[in-house]
Amino acid sequence: MIHQSFFSAPSEHIAPLLLGQLITMNQYTGRILDIEAYGGDDDPASHAFKRKTPRNEIMFGSPGYIYIYMIYGMYYCFNIVTHPIDIPGSLFIRAIDCSKHGIINGPGKLCRAWGIDLRYHGQKMFDNPLCGITIDRQPVAYTTSKRIGITKDDHRQWRFKVAI
DNA sequence: CGCAAGATTATT
DNA sequence: ATAATCTTGCGA
């Protein structure tokens, strides 16, 4: 499994490297198909755009930790903190090809299928036998596009998907 | 303390 | 295109 320093880089640099690779969360495994990158005070769409708040605080912390938040009162979303400490950013996992459930397209559906909730918030994606990512393949071809579901759109092409 | 907006999804 | 549903963060 990859270690913490791997996540200590800009989100948009890491995202394509993780596409097609193996993610493990407790009993579940799958291959990452779709990731969005988020930054900090230069990224209006990011939760960490302005100040540190109770919710986004972890985005300002050490890389490689799990950031979970609830959206629209119904769905949890799964993120991994990026950038060195004090520089906020995250990777937003949107879709996975899961060995058990098949393709799960949608961040809310992923958390529902894998039972991810706030208990995962603040846990590690490194040095953790239960949660982590293993790079066991050559880099895969991918496409980029605009991030979806955001209104403060800055037109950045920070959505990364495995090419069909 | 009130209120609008939100990194979504299923349905029309 | 819109409802469902509730937390968060902002302003007063």
Q: How far is the CA of A23 from the C1' of B7 (A)?
A: 20
Could you check: is the Cβ of residue A92 within 7 Å of any atom of nucleic acid strand B?
yes
Could you check: is the Cβ of residue A72 within 7 Å of any atom of nucleic acid strand C?
yes
Q: What percent of chain A has pLDDT over 70?
A: 100
pLDDT one-digit tens code per residue, A82-113 = 999 999 999 999 999 999 999 999 999 999 99
Average pLDDT on A20-42 reads 97
Q: Residue A164 — pLDDT band, cuts 50, 70, 90?
A: confident
Say what the pLDDT of residue A71 is. Answer: 98
Name the residue ranges covered by the structural domains of chain A: 4-162
Mean per-residue pLDDT of chain A: 97
Question: Is A4-162 a CATH 3.10.300.10 domain?
Answer: yes
A25-30: long-range contacts (C-beta < 8 A, 24 or more apart)?
A25/A114, A25/A116, A25/A120, A25/A130, A25/A131, A26/A114, A26/A115, A26/A130, A26/A131, A28/A98, A28/A99, A28/A100, A28/A113, A28/A114, A29/A98, A29/A99, A30/A96, A30/A97, A30/A98, A30/A99, A30/A101, A30/A104
Could you check: is the Cβ of residue A88 within 7 Å of any atom of nucleic acid strand B?
no
Q: How far is the CA of A161 from the C1' of C6 (A)?
A: 31
Amino acid at site A87: I
Q: How far is the CA of A138 from the C1' of C4 (A)?
A: 42
